[in-house]
Amino acid sequence: MMRLPKFDYRVPREIAEAVKIIAGSGPEGQFVAGGTDLYPNMKRRQQTPRTVISVMRVPELNQVTGDGKSGIRIGASVTLTDIVEHPLINRDYPVIAHAARSISTPILRNMGTIGGNLLLDTRCNYYDQNYEWRKGVNFCLKKDGDICWVAPGSSKCWAVQSSDLVPVMVAIGAKFRLASTLGERMIDAAGFYNDDGIDYLTKRPDELLVDIHLPPLNGWRASYQKLRRRGAFDFPVLGVAAWIQVDETNNGSGRADTIKNARIVLGGIGPSPIDVKEAGEALIGQPLDDDRIQAAAEAAYVKARPLDNTDFVMNWRKQMTRQYTLRALQELTSMD
């Protein structure tokens, strides 16, 4: 049986207290929310904080406020179950509820939070193993070793960004609020992730994710398609988030809506989410018809370069990028 290492456990009740504790803990401190990612990682000795600081009892991190007209603010400690069941999120941001519903299992969603999901550790077949297994292969670059078993000539780690909500947040243009003893800052979801399996966040370790700001609904809609082995539960090995904003000046003219802006964001195939600019550009200035959809899907396929470090054969995952982009865009044609 894998056991947790010993650690101090702190439960602050205010943001100021939480950031003060982590600042005082130095590199040995780490926040925890539901623990569904951190605790298994600690058992496998992949992450080994001496001070673990819970963010679940800070009231500001547990609130959902606003609506589709003004934009919604979701506290980082709101559980995935609360997001799946939230009436306002389901009404105004169904893509968020849909992506959250596809994460893990009902029991894990009761524990797991939106913040923890957006900060999930990157994943790899050579890393998500117990300590003895990893020791047997002399570890790897990401933890305790000096070689990448996926790309042995590479000095970079290619572990995969495997959150279902991350590509959606990037596609819809969400912003994240961070706090530390140095103050607060807002950052775009698009600028939050590094293309590096080890240093995968632009967030400093002493920064607390306070909340997630979803933009107002001004003529946009979005969809998410997830590829995984088991429908019941599994991490995504490809996620496609599609976002379009229509030109509403056409409304009532009898013409099909022209697309003003578009983004196609791929998750689950690299260390960071991939915004395929060529796919978005293929959609702009035209109505969402079959030709445009095919062109965008082709652009996403060309850009996708999955490696052999998660489930399924990498070439097949690349092929599926075309298919899943088609599906995501076709879903958008059936929405209001």
| Interacting residues with ligand SF4 (CB under 6 A) | 124, 126-127, 140-142, 148-150, 157-159, 197, 309
Shortest spacing between CB 307 and ligand SF4, in angstroms: 7
- 206 touches ligand FAD (CB under 6 A): no
Q: Report the residue from 119, 212, 246, 328 that binds ligand FAD according to the rule CB under 6 A.
A: 119
The region of 33-41, 216-224, 255-263, 289-297 touching ligand FAD under the rule CB under 6 A is 33-41
Q: Mask: binding to ligand FAD, 77-106, rule CB under 6 A, as x and -?
A: ---x----------------------xx--
Task: Tell me which of ligand SF4, ligand FAD, none is bound by residue 141, counting a contact when its beta carbon lies within the kind-specific cut-off of 5 to 8 angstroms.
Answer: ligand SF4
User: Which residues, at least 6 apart from 203, have a Cβ–Cβ distance to it below 8 Å?
Assistant: 119, 178, 187, 192, 209
CB closer to ligand FAD, 6 vs 230: 230
Q: What is the DSSP letter of 301?
A: H
- 111 touches ligand FAD (CB under 6 A): yes
Shortest spacing between CB 36 and ligand FAD, in angstroms: 3
**Type of residue at 264:** I
Pseudo-torsion of CA 83, 264, 123, 15, nearest 10°?
Answer: -40
CB closer to ligand FAD, 34 vs 197: 34
Q: Dihedral sign, CA of 16, 21, 25, 28?
A: negative
Beta strands in the chain (DSSP E): 8-10, 29-32, 51-54, 64-67, 71-75, 175-180, 183-188, 208-214, 220-227, 238-247, 258-267, 274-275
Q: Which residues of 206-233 are buried (b: 16+ CB within 10 A; e: fewer)?
A: bbbbbbbbbeebebbbbbbbbbbeeeee
Q: Residue 132 CB: number of other CB atoms within 10 A?
A: 10
Shortest spacing between CB 294 and ligand FAD, in angstroms: 29
- 36 touches ligand FAD (CB under 6 A): yes
The distance from CA 52 to its chain's CA centroid, rounded to whole angstroms, is: 22
CA distance linking residue 38 with residue 121, whole number of Å: 8
Question: Cα–Cα distances in Å, from 13 out to 31, 56, 129, 242, 312?
Answer: 13, 9, 34, 38, 43
Shortest spacing between CB 165 and ligand FAD, in angstroms: 6
Task: Tell me which of ligand SF4, ligand FAD, none is bound by residue 192, counting a contact when its beta carbon lies within the kind-specific cut-off of 5 to 8 angstroms.
Answer: none
Task: Tell me which of ligand FAD, ligand SF4, none is bound by residue 159, counting a contact when its beta carbon lies within the kind-specific cut-off of 5 to 8 angstroms.
Answer: ligand SF4
**Type of residue at 38:** L
Q: Report the residue from 84, 170, 208, 307 that binds ligand FAD according to the rule CB under 6 A.
A: 208
Shortest spacing between CB 265 and ligand FAD, in angstroms: 14
The region of 230-238, 240-248, 296-304, 307-315 touching ligand FAD under the rule CB under 6 A is 230-238
Task: Tell me which of ligand SF4, ligand FAD, none is bound by residue 116, counting a contact when its beta carbon lies within the kind-specific cut-off of 5 to 8 angstroms.
Answer: ligand FAD
Q: What is the CA radius of gyration of the chain?
A: 20
CA distance linking residue 119 with residue 176, whole number of Å: 11
Task: Tell me which of ligand FAD, ligand SF4, none is bound by residue 312, counting a contact when its beta carbon lies within the kind-specific cut-off of 5 to 8 angstroms.
Answer: none
Residues at the site binding ligand FAD, with contacts judged by CB under 6 A: 30-38, 40, 55, 76, 80, 103-104, 108, 111-113, 115-117, 119-120, 163-164, 208-209, 233-235
